[in-house]
Amino acid sequence: MPQTCVLAIRTKYGNILHATDFRFDDEALAALPTGWDALKRFAADGVDMLVCDSTNVLINQAAPSESEVRKNILKMVPQIEGGLIVTCFSSNMMRLETFILAAYEANRTPILFGRSLSLYIKIAKECGYLTDLPKVYTIDEAKDVPADKALYICTGSQANYRSAMTLIANGESKYIKPDKSDTIIFSSKVIPGNEVKIERMQEKLAELGATVITEETDLVHTSGHAGKEELKKMYELMKPKIVFPVHGDKRFIREHKRFALSCGIKEVFSARNGDMCLLHDHHIEMLEPVVCDIIGWDRNRPVSLGAQVIKNRRRIAYNCTLFISAVVCGKVLKDLQMSSIDILEQDEWDKLATEILQTVRPLIEQKLCDTENRSQIEDYIRGQIRRRVFAVTEIKPVTFLHIFYEEQAEGPHKG
């Protein structure tokens, strides 16, 4: 990705190089040069601490160059017959350029499916990149291009919700309906945490008959993260007194600590989100943890991801919702309704709701005769209906009861 940077931070306590998501790809394309001179200048001033990427620390051998991936894709694409769909990270400008060039190499029309792709290309051109890029079309501009003459570049390599690839795999795209004549290339790595949903997506595509190609089967992707060879090269170049591994779970951090020590780094330090540390006199130490939170953006306002409203949304997303409305007048149940939009299909729900209401109505009427305690009445209504929904669906919905108590009209006054 062009213009990615490490941060050279100079303080009175020491110099810090913050280097994440980096690689030394010296065989790379012209847009991806390594700033060796700037790194050497900062190293000459002395580096007290290197904050360093751990994502690929488990990989011993050097990853292929981006230029090697380009050569292979340019060779592969013209040999593919039938429809061709590819997906990669939208921000990977060099990979997007590769597929667009490959489309023309194969006499296909490159077609973008997904808004972020057009946006990234627009920004790249504004920054002086991809200036010689051949014509590329959006999906709306090229609706009439035959599938075997198109190369569709789609968003959603990580099975993102409502992305182009998700729509295609679920049969919800009005533009692309894959079948056994199609080939689909996943030119990306599976980000940890996305394994299950990506595998599910690829299985759906395979069930439709499409041929699915991934980095496990062909050279269609290379990582943008440093493996052990490049990490060692960074240590040797910067000669840091301290290495601070970041990015990755505990297994990655532990391996990075072990590897840095084996390379001769004198001190290796790690911390968790919220830990306050002090760097001084070429040494770092833990002071105290600070309570912190992950903040998300909810429409037009920030919100803690630990907030009750977010917990409620997760609970509803998993358990579904059930709404009950009742009108009670004294010991009479005047009306009882129940509704839901996410437990069953509407016709199935209507049938179930009718059966449940017929069953529980006399039970609730009897409860009204037995007690005037409103809390007991409400718990009883909620429990009777929710229990029966679970018995049929095995769903325990988040249940909302709205009950209106009518005042009984007084009888005529007798003088």
Alpha helix (H) ranges present in 80-162?
93-105, 115-126
Asked whether residue 312 falls in the same domain as residue 396, the answer is yes
Asked whether residue 52 falls in the same domain as residue 178, the answer is no
pLDDT at 409: 61
Rounded to whole angstroms, how far apart are CA atoms 99 and 187? 10
pLDDT at 415: 43
The residue from 213, 233, 258 where one domain ends is 213
User: Per-10-residue mean pLDDT for the chain, 415 residues long?
Assistant: 86 94 77 86 97 94 91 97 96 94 97 94 91 93 94 96 94 94 96 90 96 96 93 97 93 96 96 91 92 86 90 92 96 96 95 96 95 94 96 95 84 50
Asked whether residue 14 falls in the same domain as residue 81, the answer is no
Rounded to whole angstroms, how far apart are CA atoms 213 and 210? 10
Q: Which of 172, 208, 170, 205 is nearest to 186 (CA)?
A: 205
Asked whether residue 273 falls in the same domain as residue 332, the answer is no
Q: Residue 312 belongs to a domain with what CATH number?
A: 3.10.20.580
Asked whether residue 53 falls in the same domain as residue 70, the answer is no
Asked whether residue 78 falls in the same domain as residue 168, the answer is yes
Rounded to whole angstroms, how far apart are CA atoms 40 and 36? 6
Alpha helix (H) ranges present in 156-279?
164-169, 195-207, 228-238, 250-262
> Model-level pTM greater than 0.85?
no
Rounded to whole angstroms, how far apart are CA atoms 248 and 240? 21
Per DSSP, the residues of 149-167 read: GEEEEES-TT--TT-HHHH
Joined tokens for residue 147: 């599938």
Looking at the 3D structure of the chain, how many domains does it have? 3
Asked whether residue 187 falls in the same domain as residue 258, the answer is no
Residue 367 structural domain: 304-406
Asked whether residue 97 falls in the same domain as residue 209, the answer is yes
**For 156, phi and psi rounded to 5 degrees?**
105, 25
Residue 302 parent element (H or E): strand 301-304
Asked whether residue 315 falls in the same domain as residue 359, the answer is yes
Residue owning tokens 């609970």: 315
Residue 42 resides in a domain: yes
**Could you give the angle at which helices 66-76 and 93-105 cross, rounded to 10 degrees?**
30
Q: Residue 203 belongs to a domain with what CATH number?
A: 3.40.50.10710
Asked whether residue 275 falls in the same domain as residue 385, the answer is no
Joined tokens for residue 89: 């990270």
Residue 273 resides in a domain: yes
Joined tokens for residue 214: 């991934």
**Dihedral sign of CA atoms 252, 258, 260, 262 in order:** negative
Please tell me whether residue 82 adopts helix, strand or coil conformation: coil
- Provide the total of helices (H) and of strands (E) in the chain, helices listed first: 11, 18
Q: What is the dihedral of CA 385, 387, 393, 397, to 10 degrees?
A: 70
Residue 298 resides in a domain: no
Asked whether residue 90 falls in the same domain as residue 171, the answer is yes
Rounded to whole angstroms, how far apart are CA atoms 357 and 55? 56
CB 265 within 8 A of CB 235: yes
Residue 2 resides in a domain: no
